[in-house]
Amino acid sequence: MKSISQMLSLAVDSDGQIAWGWTREEVVELYTRAIIEFKESPIGQELLRRGGQDFIDRAVEICSERFENTSPMLTPYYETLEAVGKDILTDCPPEPVAPKTPTIAETIQIEKAAAAAALVEQERKESERRERAKQDGILQHFADKVNEQLNRNPDPARGVRGGVESLKPRNGTVTLDVTKGHFTYSAGEFDELFAKCQAKGLIR
């Protein structure tokens, strides 16, 4: 494994987040170094010869897509970039297209922008994953309360509510009397949560 891949495996955790002790600037710098090293490698130079900076940018973009469900801690970044570059060379025309060669300053800016964009995309995917997990947790807690009341035998003499009838709204609200306490929902809120739980097969 390339040393730059080893550094990235330490700087980014398994969830694609910046590891403790590292800064965003340091991680962006590592991604930038990886892209520059790749560009200067035989594969990168052949990509430049055949398609210019556009082929390098395409390789970085495809590599970022492959890291949507993994992280440099689990999959070596530089080696993945090389594999993508080989795939592009296999598919692209062998003849050079006489691309414009950017200056060193332009190259550094381009690579920094690409590295920053890759990091932002990883952070966005992780944020979406965490939000989905949060919403799933809310639905699971709601379903647990509904299932407890739904499957309980009603006993009016003792004031125990249960069964389907206990889930019908009264005065525009639905109340769940469960082990963890009393929870009251507006009829609209209850119906919305109930429908989502049913769609996920959580109501039993």
Same-domain status, 141 and 116: no
In a domain, 167, yes or no: yes
| DSSP 8-state class, residue 100 | P
Tell which of 73, 101, 129 closes a domain: 129
Percentage above 90 pLDDT, the chain: 8
Same-domain status, 64 and 11: yes
Q: Strands, DSSP E only, in the chain?
A: 173-178, 181-186
CA–chain centroid gap for 125, Å, is 3
Same-domain status, 136 and 157: yes
Two tokens, residue 86: 């080989």
In a domain, 82, yes or no: yes
Same-domain status, 113 and 148: no
> Looking at per-residue confidence, does 100 or 138 come out higher?
138
Domain residue limits at 148: 132-199
pLDDT at residue 1 tops 60: no
**pLDDT digits over 154-187, tens only?**
777 676 778 888 888 888 999 888 888 888 999 9
Same-domain status, 104 and 154: no
Integer CA distances (angstroms), 124 to 79, 128, 149, 199, in order: 23, 6, 38, 26
**pLDDT digits over 78-129, tens only?**
898 899 999 999 887 665 555 667 777 777 787 888 888 888 888 888 888 8
- Its pTM stands at 0.47
Q: How many CB atoms lie within 10 A of CB 111?
A: 24
**pLDDT digits over 31-73, tens only?**
888 889 999 999 999 998 888 888 999 898 888 888 777 777 7
Tell which of 129, 163, 185 closes a domain: 129
In a domain, 204, yes or no: no
Provide the mean pLDDT of the chain: 83
Element (H, E) at 181: strand 181-186
- Total domains in the chain come to 2
| Cβ atoms of 151 and 63 closer than 8 Å | no
Q: Tell me the residue type at 174.
A: V
Same-domain status, 77 and 111: yes
Same-domain status, 15 and 107: yes
d(Cα 39, Cα 59) in Å, to the nearest integer? 10
Two tokens, residue 32: 């930038």
Tell which of 72, 99, 129 closes a domain: 129
